[in-house]
Amino acid sequence: MLTHREKERYDRQLRIPEVGKEGQGRLKQAKIIIAGAGGLGAPAAFYLAAAGVGHIRIVDDDRVDRSNLNRQLLHWEEDIGREKTESAKEKLGRLNPDVIIETVSSRIDEDTVAAMVDRCDGIIDALDNFSGRYVLNRSAVTLDIPFFHGAVQGFEGRATTIIPGQTACLECLPRGEQTHAANPIIGITPGMIGCIQASECIKYLLRQGRLLENRLVIFDGLEMTWKEFNIKPRPECSVCGKKNRKRHHGDNTR
């Protein structure tokens, strides 16, 4: 049930046939994890909160630095030195007091990930490193949680949607290697890609539209082009191979 205030707040999207009261109810009931409160996490969090996703858990172990402010719009000059999760919670709470914002200020690794993603309906991959992304990808596939991947550098970004048992996962692609240099980036790029991730998440929750399943889109901000590539689940993938084979053979047990 939507309150009077929620009906007013979401009036314009309630008018969209693909949303309506039923869809808005789905958004309200959903619990989404945003892993990373940085360049990708900021737009994803703003748009999910604004759309009325009822429960958002933000995970980040970092503090706000001045060099974050060109792109991480959740954090402002006065937040320098604060925990990013606290800064994010304050802004999102002020944007939409009708959504629950939960924070976890710790690093994502093999030991912490299961508790972080427990009983959620989707994970936004807004991390800034490969190791965390692969941990999160494995956990999402194991626990059957949709995983909305995005990554950026400079004017270039990419996104894909991973549905366990149906699509390729991150480990079906070549495994990237971390460099230790600061990632060059301008805010418009994670702005675009974070919005794609939020769009995918909302579409998934609404059960509407066509997701980026087995499709990788690459955004080139300098040429202003989107290129779409097909990716396929690898049968021998150590993370998703077994699950995808089971599903392919009609065995839907989890």
Partner 1 sequence: MSVTIHLHKSQRHLADGKASVDVAGRTVNACLADLIQQYPDLESQLFENSRRLKKNVEIYLNLESAYPDELAKPVRDGDEIHITLILSGG
Residues 132-171 that bind partner 1 (CB under 8 A): 133, 150-153, 156-158, 168
Beta-strand relationship, 122-125 and 215-220: unpaired
* Interactions with partner 1, residue window 171-230 (CB under 8 A): 172-178, 183, 185, 190, 216, 218, 220, 222, 227-230
**Which residues have C-beta within 8 Å of that of residue 19, sequence separation ≥ 6?**
10, 13, 27, 206
Triad 96, 6, 196: Cα angle to 5°: 55
DSSP E strand boundaries for the chain: 31-35, 55-59, 100-104, 122-125, 147-153, 156-162, 215-220, 225-230
Beta-carbon-side half-sphere exposure of residue 203 (alpha carbons within 13 Å): 16
Identify which range of 14-22, 35-43, 79-87, 104-112 contacts partner 1 by CB under 8 A: 35-43
Closest to partner 1 by CB, 5 vs 232, is 232
In the complex with partner 1, the residue whose CB is nearer, 34 or 206, is 34
Closer to partner 1 by Cβ: residue 1 or 222: 222
CB of 125 to partner 1, least distance (A): 8
CA quadruple 212, 174, 168, 217: dihedral, nearest 10: 10
Nearest approach, Cβ of residue 172 and partner 1 (Å): 8
Q: Which residue's CB is nearer to partner 1, number 14 or number 130?
A: 130
Nearer to partner 1 by Cβ, of 24 and 161: the residue is: 161
Check binding of 130 to partner 1 (CB under 8 A): yes
Q: Which residues between 89 and 128 bind partner 1 (CB under 8 A)?
A: 125-128
232 binds partner 1 (CB under 8 A): yes
Our measurement of the distance from residue 205's CA atom to the centroid of its chain's CA atoms, rounded to an integer in Å, reads 13
Task: Work out the burial of residue 204: count CB atoms within 10 Å of its CB; fewer than 13 is exposed, 13-18 middle, 19 or more buried.
Answer: buried
**96 or 197: CB nearest partner 1:** 197
Burial of 145 (0-12, 13-18, 19+ CB in 10 A): buried
Which stretches of the chain bind partner 1, using CB under 8 A? 36, 38-41, 125-130, 133, 150-153, 156-158, 168, 172-178, 183, 185, 190, 216, 218, 220, 222, 227-232, 234
